[in-house]
Amino acid sequence: MSKSFITGFPRIGEQRELKFALESFWAGKSDFSEVERVAKELKARHWKYQKDAHIDFISANDFSYYDLMLDNIITFGAIPPRFDGLSGTELYFSMARGNKTSVAMEMTKWFNTNYHYIVPELSKETKFSLNPTKILNEYKEAKAEGITPKINLIGPITFLALSKTTDGSCALCHLDALVEQYAKLLVEISKLDNEVVVQIDEPIFVTDKAEKLKDKIAPVYDKLCAEDNVKIIFMTYFEHANEAVKEIVKTKVWGVGLDFVHTSCQKDSLEILKNSDKILFAGLIDGRNVWVSDLDAKLELINKIKEYIPSERLNIGTSCSLLHVPYTLKYEEKLSIKEWLSFALEKLTEVNLLKKLANGEHFCEVGEGLLAKNRAAIASRKTSELVNDKAVQERVKNLSKFERDTPYEERIKVQKAKFNLPELPTTTIGSFPQTPELRQVRNAYKKSLISQEAYEKDIKKYIDECIAFQEECGLDVLVHGEPERNDMVEYFGEQLKGYAFSTNGWVQSYGSRCVKPPLLFGDVSRPKAMTVDWISYAQSKTSKIMKGMLTGPVTILNWSFVRDDKPRSEIAKELALCIYDEIDDLQNAGIKIIQVDEAAFKEGYPLRRENVSAYEKFAVDCFKLSVCSAGAQTQIHTHMCYSEFNDIIKTIEAMDADVISIETARSGNELLKIFKSVGYKQEVGPGVYDIHSPRVPSVEEIATQIHALLEVLPKSQLWINPDCGLKTRKWEEVKPSLKNMTAAVKIVRLS
């Protein structure tokens, strides 16, 4: 008989309880004991949800106060030297968020998801040591709740492969030393119970790095399988792991986890596992999207898997951690497409139903009702008139233009003559602080508690204040601050046909930061202009250039929960046409610079090289389609977050934006050097300070950073800006930081 498992569960809280507890602690309004109380309550609640859904393998150590990679850094003592002397929560949150004297550790995207992890920093001098307290305590907490959990760990090979070194040394050269500490940890874990299941996540093996790393698997896992009462699951997700499966079957690991959602067949791996004794943990319920699973179709897939793996060696669960989806639909009272959706809590039920179907178990009346509801949802979604729009389909079908009319070399001459900006022009990425008062205004308007007139008055007041401050501190190109926007994707989705929105569908992005992705369920179109009124108002309040701020089609796609019944490339074209129309309206309204953010461009990249060219083609085509309505005199900016650009720099060139701003504050000038190495012609705005940390950089610090940038690119090619939007920061951090930035630029201009 097959059993059920959950790869991992969300941790921020179904009503973001952990977020609010953390932010209260960081603001000095409560003690850390309150955070600990909330955390304990959440863990117990989440375990109970899974137990009540009859999940057989429930995780411990999938919880974190900030990030699991950061927890791993603490567990194995890989603390960067700049945090020496700190301990406890001061150490932990200084590493994550920085402090007055030390910058935070770098963050980047967890594979091709929108979750950010803390990047370990290693050097030749790194010495590992073991601190297993969190892991052991969490197991004991679960036992106290009547649950015998599996323990989740990030694997040593993945940990090192995702690390960076500060001295140019090889991170993977630390493998033997790190594995020694993992082995010590497993000895401690073996003492917890007569038998302990440990899920070791090694998702690095679903990437192209697998071929180079595969020879490390057997030596590492032979050492980690030394404890007889510890059963190890080698867990992968997001893609196939054929290279790793060939090697892991040679070891004594107990189970192997594979993703059957994003690589539905997995035939090669199944052939390898067929003649082994390994338990297959088959990820069949999508952990990254929100649509109801077609359980009958999943059962057909299970039957194909059973041609290789018998039921007693087959366990059924989620394709990856449910961290990537919202918690539950139970608070969604106004969601028109609710019957088509399944969030984390509902996916527990799907896993249980699928296990029963796979085992041929008898369904009680409740189970029969749930199965009938599932089948009805699948059928209604396929036939709904809400999904199909023939006008949109025809417009996409007849597309022919994907290029701007004037090449960059000619455009930039027109723009420089028209704008007459100084060397090293200064700007920001777009958003200004989203204050509690501002959120209250938007929330009150949304609930019809205030009139439209009152709402617009408050929003305009905020815009006026943003403009006055920017003029005061001497910025060259201004922004309106985006006070009308709750989120850079949700704001646009709310104005597009084909989208729906949850009330409480929050998903953790990093730390306490949560996003609420919109639900793209049908053909997409723009009924009317989305930003023109607000940007035009802002431009009317200043003689300086006001940037129009838009989110790009690829980012809207990658940061939405997207329908799974149509190619993403076609959906992206629909979104691009919406932005195309908006740009045309903005420039006709007199807006000279328009920023089309593609913060999630890199995030959507496939993890396997064989799939990259197809993604790049549609992603570049759709960006170019979205901006090709812009005339030569309209300058198009774009912004990208947390990206390693060395492998996609030619793709960025192909996007043909006039100016690109990038995040470099936590990674030095390495990203910028890539632009120089390829002879990048367009202008670049490298972030000169880190907005993800509350610390205020000094004038001298920023001036030093600008001088470092000038060692790579000339003044004529550089813009100066923070490394991302400022919505998550407080005004008392933003104002001195931007004043210091403009002061630093003035110093450098004179040097």
Give the C-alpha separation, 45 to 51, whole Å. Answer: 10
Q: For 350-386, write each residue's pLDDT tens digit.
A: 999 999 999 999 888 888 999 999 999 999 998 898 9
Average pLDDT over residues 474-494: 94
pLDDT for 666 beyond 70: no
Average pLDDT over residues 538-559: 97
Give the C-alpha separation, 339 to 140, whole Å. Answer: 38
Does the annotation place 663 within a ligand binding site?
A: yes
> What is the enclosing helix (H) or strand (E) of 109?
strand 107-109
| Pairwise pLDDT comparison (355 vs 666), residue with the higher score | 355
Give the C-alpha separation, 372 to 368, whole Å. Answer: 6
Does the annotation place 102 within a ligand binding site?
A: no
Could you say which DSSP state residue 431 is in?
A: B
Does the annotation place 514 within a ligand binding site?
A: yes
Average pLDDT over residues 611-621: 95
Structure tokens at 580: 């195309």
CB within 8 A of 245, min separation 6: which ones? 256, 258, 268, 269, 272, 273
Instruction: Report the pLDDT value the prediction gives residue 643, as an integer from 0 to 100.
Output: 59
> What is the distance, to the nearest Å, from the Cα of residue 280 to the centroid of all Cα atoms in its chain?
28
Q: For 159-179, write each residue's pLDDT tens digit.
A: 999 999 999 999 999 999 999
Total residue count of the chain as it appears in this document = 751
Instruction: Report the pLDDT value the prediction gives residue 669, as an integer from 0 to 100.
Output: 66
Does the annotation place 374 within a ligand binding site?
A: no
Does the annotation place 232 within a ligand binding site?
A: no
Spatial contact of 347 and 318, defined as CB atoms under 8 Å apart: yes
Average pLDDT over residues 489-516: 94
Mean pLDDT lowest among 157-166, 493-502, 662-671? 662-671
pLDDT for 670 beyond 80: no
- Split at pLDDT 50, 70, 90, the class of 583 is very high
Strands ordered across the beta sheet of 314-318: 4-5, 314-318, 279-285, 255-259, 230-235, 196-201, 150-154, 59-60
In the chain, CATH 3.20.20.210 covers 3-9+45-78+115-383, 424-432+467-486+531-750
Instruction: Report the pLDDT value the prediction gives residue 365, as an integer from 0 to 100.
Output: 86
Strands 116-118 and 107-109: antiparallel
Does the annotation place 16 within a ligand binding site?
A: yes
> What is the enclosing helix (H) or strand (E) of 692?
none
DSSP collapsed to 3 states, 352-390:
HHHHHHHHCCCCCHHHHHHHHHHHHHHHHHHHCCCCCCH
Give the C-alpha separation, 402 to 409, whole Å. Answer: 18
* Cβ-based burial of 427 (10 A; exposed 0-12, middle 13-18, buried ≥19): buried
Q: For 53-96, write each residue's pLDDT tens digit.
A: 999 999 999 999 999 999 999 999 999 999 999 999 999 999 99
**Alpha-carbon distances, residue 621 vs 576, 613, 624, 629, 715 (angstroms):** 9, 12, 5, 14, 30
Spatial contact of 458 and 441, defined as CB atoms under 8 Å apart: yes
Instruction: Report the pLDDT value the prediction gives residue 30, as an integer from 0 to 100.
Output: 98
Does the annotation place 465 within a ligand binding site?
A: no
Radius of gyration (C-alpha) of the chain in whole angstroms: 26
| CATH 3.40.190.10 correct for 3-9+45-78+115-383 | no
Does the annotation place 429 within a ligand binding site?
A: yes
In this structure, CATH architecture of domain 424-432+467-486+531-750: Alpha-Beta Barrel (3.20)
Q: For 250-263, write each residue's pLDDT tens digit.
A: 999 999 999 999 88
Does the annotation place 431 within a ligand binding site?
A: yes
Helix residue ranges per DSSP H, 682-730 = 699-710
Does the annotation place 54 within a ligand binding site?
A: no
C-alpha closest to that of 654 among 720, 598, 577 = 598
Spatial contact of 473 and 515, defined as CB atoms under 8 Å apart: no
Torsion of CA 34, 36, 42, 45, to 10 degrees: -100
Active site residues: 692
Does the annotation place 516 within a ligand binding site?
A: no
**Alpha-carbon distances, residue 216 vs 159, 170, 248 (angstroms):** 13, 15, 10
- Split at pLDDT 50, 70, 90, the class of 401 is confident
Does the annotation place 578 within a ligand binding site?
A: no
Average pLDDT over residues 119-129: 97
* Cβ-based burial of 652 (10 A; exposed 0-12, middle 13-18, buried ≥19): buried
Instruction: Report the pLDDT value the prediction gives residue 694, as an integer from 0 to 100.
Output: 87
Average pLDDT over residues 579-585: 98
Instruction: Report the pLDDT value the prediction gives residue 727, as an integer from 0 to 100.
Output: 94
Q: For 709-728, write each residue's pLDDT tens digit.
A: 998 899 999 999 999 999 98
Phi first, then psi, for residue 120 (nearest 5°) are -60, 140
- Split at pLDDT 50, 70, 90, the class of 574 is very high
pLDDT for 523 beyond 70: yes
Does the annotation place 167 within a ligand binding site?
A: no
> What is the enclosing helix (H) or strand (E) of 611?
none
Give the C-alpha separation, 490 to 648, whole Å. Answer: 27
Instruction: Report the pLDDT value the prediction gives residue 646, as an integer from 0 to 100.
Output: 77
Does the annotation place 482 within a ligand binding site?
A: yes
Partners of 551 in the β-ladder: 597
Q: For 631-644, write each residue's pLDDT tens digit.
A: 999 999 999 875 56
Spatial contact of 154 and 101, defined as CB atoms under 8 Å apart: no
Does the annotation place 320 within a ligand binding site?
A: no
Catalogue the E-assigned strands of 155-259.
164-165, 196-201, 230-235, 255-259
Q: For 450-467, write each residue's pLDDT tens digit.
A: 999 999 999 999 999 999
Does the annotation place 597 within a ligand binding site?
A: yes
Instruction: Report the pLDDT value the prediction gives residue 219, as an integer from 0 to 100.
Output: 98
Q: For 202-253, write each residue's pLDDT tens digit.
A: 999 999 999 999 999 999 999 999 999 999 999 999 999 999 999 999 999 9
Other residues' Cβ atoms within 10 Å of the Cβ of residue 28: 7
Across the chain, what does the average pLDDT equal? 95
Catalogue the E-assigned strands of 443-483.
477-478
